[in-house]
């Protein structure tokens, strides 16, 4: 792999703009190379004759022997005639003292074609100053954060002593309060338990509040009426929660330090590579002077990050890993996720089986002429909706797998955005494994239900065969809620937690995965309605005869409307929570968008159940308003497109996909698929060539596809927002805060 690609692959995606722009510098050097080749071609000497070659060979003996140890290198490098650049640090009065500004003076600017080299060194200086100042700023941030963790650890140790030894008498505050960050912790590591207790001051517990109440609907209500912080109760459960939060804070802090260390090393390597490439192209000796400046700069000389890493590791091993270094380092440095070849193998097997089963289903339908069978309408009304539930799930997972593939390809940090624990996120192969396995089970079940013949005596089908769809639903639910560590338990529990947060809206803080999941549910309305049909069909219908009276029940029709409203209601409540929490009026407008969608969904459903001219006009009007509102929000707010003054016409300043036409195609498709509701008011569901269940399935599948397209550009926009603000880490709430509740320890 070429260095440019390797350099890009190892970047922190959210810091991409802060790294050395290696490709731009390489492009400038390419122009230098083109000019030098052109000049060499123009001034090339005539071909050497034998006499001339002998003369050159003879004169070469008069040159000084260079030596086996390069004894003449220092002399030649120090010769003024060989110097190409002069690098110096500039001190400008208008710049802050901590901002470094280096400038390179090119000493060969009078030579022919030196313009490109001047441009190169100007760009190189700009890139180096950008890198150094960004690194300095980030180091200063982690130093401040280290001081906060110092105070948090002081409070934790005091709380441990207070709970484990209630009779302990507080000593005077530690005399080394002016130590550098985390030095207090480092000193505690080398002292005995009795010495540590002498250094502990319990007075800090009189000035702190605790923030370890698990967030829930009940805690939110308690916060509203009783205040935002709670007093210390000095319980062991409280201590465990504090330790867990501080452990997470240390893990995330250590990750920051590792990325900063990698940032420093990678950029130094980049400057070294580009300068050596410059020397090779120009046959100059400029890299030594420039790399000496890099070596003496803050980027290379600063050792705060390394020292902090050592102290953090020592403190973490002592306090959070029971002095077990191996366990502590495993928690601090989780192993990178490796590609599992067994997953690839089983994905291929399951997809092969799925294709074979699809062929078997088609041949069975054709051989028995089931499309013209008397039981066709009975099958499509009762059995087809049961299996369509799994088709919706499989299609959604396939779209999600495709999104993950392209997110990974274009370096969208989806794992960070969704907040997965390190190395626990599912890749596209794992999603394909789940979807292909489910497709095999579903198609096998469909094949078992294609028998259209019933017993002439009982006029019923076999009970075991008819219960296959219900059994498959039960299996999927059991796997989803299985407490054992099988079939990606971490991800299943993450999904369940996000789903519970949606149910608890607005009494739970809304994070990105919570409202992202709620948006997915708004595109799975038909799946939710199919789940209602399961209850009606197997609970009150005669499944042995493939008969149901669901459409004749007013209770069923009422819940048919309410179930469709639930996902939009979740999103509406989440928008209210975000508006109340952040005072963002844009979230209030977003809530109105979901209210308009609720009105449109309700009126369209009522029109299907009780057709009439008035309700048809109301359904069409409300749907037009909701479609315009939703389409505008998709493109402008969620995707960040349609910017008038953008560098990319009608898109946005930064794009991930190289082909701009993809964005316009996605916008057009979004509008077209948004208009799928028109089939309701135009009575397309009564088309004679297609059964009503098939029409419903087709338009539900189109909505899932639209949501899959929306997902990619929504996450792309979120990623670019993080990149613009250099947000590459999770914000971990600390357990202690000052008594006034405004400032954390």
In the predicted model, is pLDDT for residue 616 greater than 80? Answer: yes
CB 128 within 8 A of CB 267: no
Choose the weakest-confidence range: 80-94, 283-297, 398-412, 652-666: 80-94
- The more confidently predicted of residues 189 and 580 is 580
- Residue 278 pLDDT grade (very low, low, confident, very high; cuts 50, 70, 90): very high
Residue 157 CA neighbour count, 13 Å, CB half = 22
Enter the tokens of residue 671.
Answer: 């509008």
Q: Are 469 and 445 in contact (CB under 8 A)?
A: yes
Query: Would you state the pLDDT for residue 98?
Result: 59
pLDDT at residue 240 in the model: 87
Is the pLDDT at 742 greater than 50? The verdict is no
pLDDT for residue 44: 63
Q: What are phi and psi of 558, to 5 degrees?
A: -65, -45
Q: Is 42 exposed, middle or buried (0-12, 13-18, 19+ CB in 10 A)?
A: exposed
For 650: left if phi > 0, alpha if psi spans -120 to 50, otherwise beta; the answer is left
User: Measured between alpha carbons, how far is 96 from 418 in angstroms, rounded to an integer?
Assistant: 37
Decide which of 422 and 502 is more confident.
502
Annotate 691-704 with three-state secondary structure: CHHHHHHHHHHHHH
Q: Tell me if the bond preceding 735 is cis, omega within 30° of 0.
A: no
Q: Is 736 helix (H, G, I), strand (E, B) or coil?
A: strand
The predicted pLDDT at position 465 comes to 87
Residue-wise DSSP of 196-233 = HHHH--GGGGGGEEE--PPP-HHHHHHHHHH-S-B---
Instruction: Write down the pLDDT at residue 688.
Output: 65
pLDDT digits (tens, 9 = 90+) for 1-20: 688 889 998 999 989 999 99
Residues 534-540, mean pLDDT to the nearest whole number: 94
Q: What is the pLDDT of residue 214?
A: 58
User: With bands split at pLDDT 50, 70 and 90, how would you rate the model's confidence at 62?
Assistant: very low
Averaged pLDDT of the chain? 85
**pLDDT by residue (tens digit) across 318-345?**
999 988 999 999 888 877 777 789 999 9
Query: What are the backbone angles phi and psi of residue 386, rounded to the nearest 5°?
Result: -65, -45
Bridge pairing between strands 208-210 and 736-738: antiparallel
State the first-to-last Cα distance of the chain, in angstroms, to the nearest integer: 46
Mean pLDDT of 376-389: 93
Lowest mean pLDDT among 438-442, 624-628, 685-689, 707-711: 685-689
Q: Could you report the per-residue pLDDT of 693-702, keeping only the tens digit for each?
A: 999 999 999 9
Note the pLDDT tens digit of each residue in 556-566. Answer: 999 999 999 99
Distance CA 109, CA 130 (A): 24
Q: Which two tokens stand for residue 568?
A: 């939009």
Query: What is residue 128's predicted lDDT score, i.e. its pLDDT?
Result: 95
Provide the pLDDT for residue 687.
61
Asked if residue 186 has pLDDT above 60, the reply is no
pLDDT of residue 432: 97
Contact 111, 125 (CB under 8 A): no
Each residue's pLDDT tens digit, 483-498: 999 999 999 999 999 9
For residues 299 and 132, the answer to whether their CB atoms sit within 8 Å is: yes
Please list, in sequence order, all residues whose beta carbon lies within 8 angstroms of the beta carbon of residue 417, skipping any fewer than 6 positions away.
512, 715, 718, 719, 722
Query: What average pLDDT does the segment 121-137 reach?
Result: 94
Q: Is residue 426 over pLDDT 90? A: yes
Q: In the block, which residue shows the tokens 């020592």? A: 314
pLDDT for residue 462: 83
Burial profile 123-135: b = 16 or more Cβ within 10 angstroms, e = fewer? ebbebbbbbbbbb
- Can you tell me the mean pLDDT for 249-274? 94
Joined tokens for residue 235: 């319980």
Mean pLDDT, rounded, for 416-435:
93
Q: What share of the chain is helix, strand, coil (3-state, %, to 5)?
A: 70, 5, 30
pLDDT tens sequence across 130-183: 999 999 999 999 999 999 999 899 888 888 888 887 766 655 554 444 555 455
Average of pLDDT values for 553-579?
95
The answer, yes or no, to whether residue 70 has pLDDT greater than 50, is no
Structure tokens that stand for 75 in this block:
């002399």
pLDDT computed for residue 458 by the predictor: 64
- Distance (Å) of CA 83 to CA 105, 118, 412, 516: 11, 15, 44, 58
147, HSE (Cβ side, Cα atoms, 13 Å): 10
Distance CA(10)–CA(591), nearest Å, equals 40
pLDDT of 46 > 70? The answer is no
Q: Please say if the pLDDT value at position 189 is more than 50.
A: no
Q: Report how far residue 719's alpha carbon sits from residue 713's, in angstroms, rounded to the nearest whole number.
A: 10
Q: Which residue has the tokens 């070659």?
A: 53
224: left (phi over 0), alpha (psi -120 to 50) or beta: alpha
Asked whether the predicted pLDDT for residue 202 surpasses 60, the reply is yes
Q: Could you tell me which of 481, 501, 476 has the C-alpha nearest to residue 492?
A: 481
Res 705 pLDDT > 50: yes
CB 710 within 8 A of CB 634: yes
Which of 147, 170, 145, 167 is closest to 158 using CA atoms?
170
Q: Compute the distance between CA of residue 527 and CA of residue 564 in angstroms, rounded to an integer.
A: 10
3-state secondary structure 367-388: HCCHHHCCCHHHHHHHCHHHHH
Detail the DSSP E strand segments found in 83-240. 85-90, 101-106, 208-210
Q: How far is CA 741 from the centre of its chain?
A: 31
Domain ranges of the chain: 1-64+83-333, 341-736
Measured between alpha carbons, how far is 54 from 60 in angstroms, rounded to an integer? 10
Residue 158 and residue 202: Cα distance in Å, rounded? 5
- Residues 427, 422: Cα–Cα separation, whole Å: 13
Helix (H) or strand (E) holding 365: helix 341-367
**Range of lowest pLDDT (53-67, 512-526, 581-595, 647-661):** 53-67
Please give the pLDDT value at position 544: 87
Residue 733 binned pLDDT confidence (cut-offs 50, 70, 90) = confident
Q: Is 531's pLDDT higher than 50?
A: yes
Q: How many whole angstroms separate alpha carbon 447 and alpha carbon 665?
A: 38
Is pLDDT at 372 greater than 90 in this prediction? no
Q: Which residues contact 339 (CB under 8 A, 6 or more apart)?
A: 429
Residues contacting residue 198 through CB under 8 Å, at least 6 positions apart: 171
533 vs 459, higher pLDDT: 533
Interval 634-679: pLDDT, tens: 999 999 999 988 999 999 999 999 999 999 999 999 999 999 888 8
Q: What percent of the chain has pLDDT over 70?
A: 83
The closest alpha carbon to 521, from 483, 550, 481, 564, belongs to 564
Residue 303 CB: number of other CB atoms within 10 A? Answer: 8
């Amino acid at each position: 792999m070429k260095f440019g690609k390797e350099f890009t692959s190892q970047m922190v995606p959210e810091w991409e703009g802060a790294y050395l722009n290696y490709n731009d510098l390489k492009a400038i050097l390419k122009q230098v190379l083109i000019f030098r080749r052109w000049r060499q071609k123009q001034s090339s000497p005539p071909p050497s004759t034998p006499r001339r070659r002998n003369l050159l060979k003879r004169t070469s003996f008069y040159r000084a022997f260079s030596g086996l140890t390069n004894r003449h290198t220092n002399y030649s490098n120090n010769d003024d005639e060989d110097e190409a650049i002069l690098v110096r640090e500039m001190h400008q009065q208008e710049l802050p003292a901590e901002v470094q500004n280096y400038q390179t003076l090119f000493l060969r600017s009078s030579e022919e074609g030196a313009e490109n080299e001047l441009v190169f060194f100007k760009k190189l200086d700009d890139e180096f100053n950008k890198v150094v100042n960004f690194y300095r700023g980030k180091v200063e941030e982690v130093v401040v954060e280290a001081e906060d963790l110092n105070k948090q650890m002081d409070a934790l140790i005091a709380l441990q002593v207070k709970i484990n030894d209630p009779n302990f008498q507080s000593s005077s505050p530690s005399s080394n309060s002016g130590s550098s960050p985390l030095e207090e912790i480092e000193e505690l590591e080398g002292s005995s338990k009795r010495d540590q207790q002498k250094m502990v001051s319990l007075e800090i517990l009189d000035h702190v509040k605790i923030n370890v109440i698990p967030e829930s609907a009940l805690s939110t209500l308690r916060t509203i009426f009783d205040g935002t912080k709670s007093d210390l109760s000095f319980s062991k459960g409280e201590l465990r929660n504090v330790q867990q939060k501080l452990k997470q804070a240390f893990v995330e802090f250590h990750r920051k330090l590792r990325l900063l260390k990698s940032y420093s090393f990678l950029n130094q390597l980049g400057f070294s590579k580009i300068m050596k490439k410059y020397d090779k192209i120009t046959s100059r000796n400029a890299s030594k002077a420039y790399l000496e400046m890099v070596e003496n700069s803050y980027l290379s000389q600063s050792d705060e990050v390394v020292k902090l890493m050592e102290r953090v590791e020592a403190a973490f091993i002592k306090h959070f890993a029971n002095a077990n270094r191996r366990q502590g380092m495993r928690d601090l440095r989780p192993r990178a996720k490796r590609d599992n070849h067994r997953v690839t193998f089983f994905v291929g097997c399951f997809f092969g089986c799925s294709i074979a089963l699809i062929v078997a289903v088609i041949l069975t339908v054709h051989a028995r002429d089931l499309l013209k069978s008397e039981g066709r309408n009975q099958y499509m009304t009762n059995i087809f909706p049961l299996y369509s539930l799994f088709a919706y799930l499989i299609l959604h997972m396939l779209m999600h797998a495709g999104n993950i593939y392209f997110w990974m390809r274009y370096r969208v940090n989806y794992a960070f955005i969704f907040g997965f624990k390190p190395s626990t996120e599912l890749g596209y192969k794992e999603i394909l494994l789940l979807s292909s396995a489910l497709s095999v089970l579903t198609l096998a079940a469909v094949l078992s239900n294609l028998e259209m013949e019933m017993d002439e005596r009982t006029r019923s089908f076999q009970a075991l065969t008819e219960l296959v769809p219900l059994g498959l639903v039960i299996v999927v639910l059991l796997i989803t809620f299985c407490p054992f560590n099988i079939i990606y338990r971490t991800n299943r529990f993450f999904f369940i937690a996000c789903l519970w947060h949606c149910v608890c809206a607005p009494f739970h803080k809304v994070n990105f995965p919570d409202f992202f999941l709620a948006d997915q549910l708004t595109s799975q309305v038909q799946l939710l309605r199919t789940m209602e049909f399961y209850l009606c069909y197997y609970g009150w219908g005669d499944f042995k005869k493939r008969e149901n009276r669901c459409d004749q029940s007013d209770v069923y029709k009422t819940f048919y409307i309410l179930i469709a409203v639930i996902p939009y209601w979740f999103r509406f409540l989440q928008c209210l929570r975000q508006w109340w929490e952040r005072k963002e009026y844009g979230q209030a407008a977003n809530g109105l968008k979901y209210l308009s969608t609720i009105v449109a969904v309700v009126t369209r459903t009522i029109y299907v159940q009780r057709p009439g001219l008035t309700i048809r006009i109301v359904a069409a009007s409300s749907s037009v308003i909701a479609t315009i509102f939703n389409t505008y929000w998709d493109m402008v707010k969620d995707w960040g497109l349609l910017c008038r003054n953008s560098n990319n016409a009608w898109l946005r300043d930064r794009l991930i996909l190289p082909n701009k036409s993809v964005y316009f195609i996605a916008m057009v498709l979004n509008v077209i698929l948004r208009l799928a509701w028109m089939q309701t008011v135009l009575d397309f569901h009564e088309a004679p060539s297609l059964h009503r269940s098939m029409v419903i399935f087709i338009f539900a599948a189109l909505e899932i596809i639209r949501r899959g397209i929306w997902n990619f550009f929504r996450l792309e926009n979120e990623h670019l927002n993080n990149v613009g603000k250099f947000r590459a880490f999770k914000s971990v709430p600390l357990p202690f805060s000052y008594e006034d509740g405004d400032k954390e320890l």
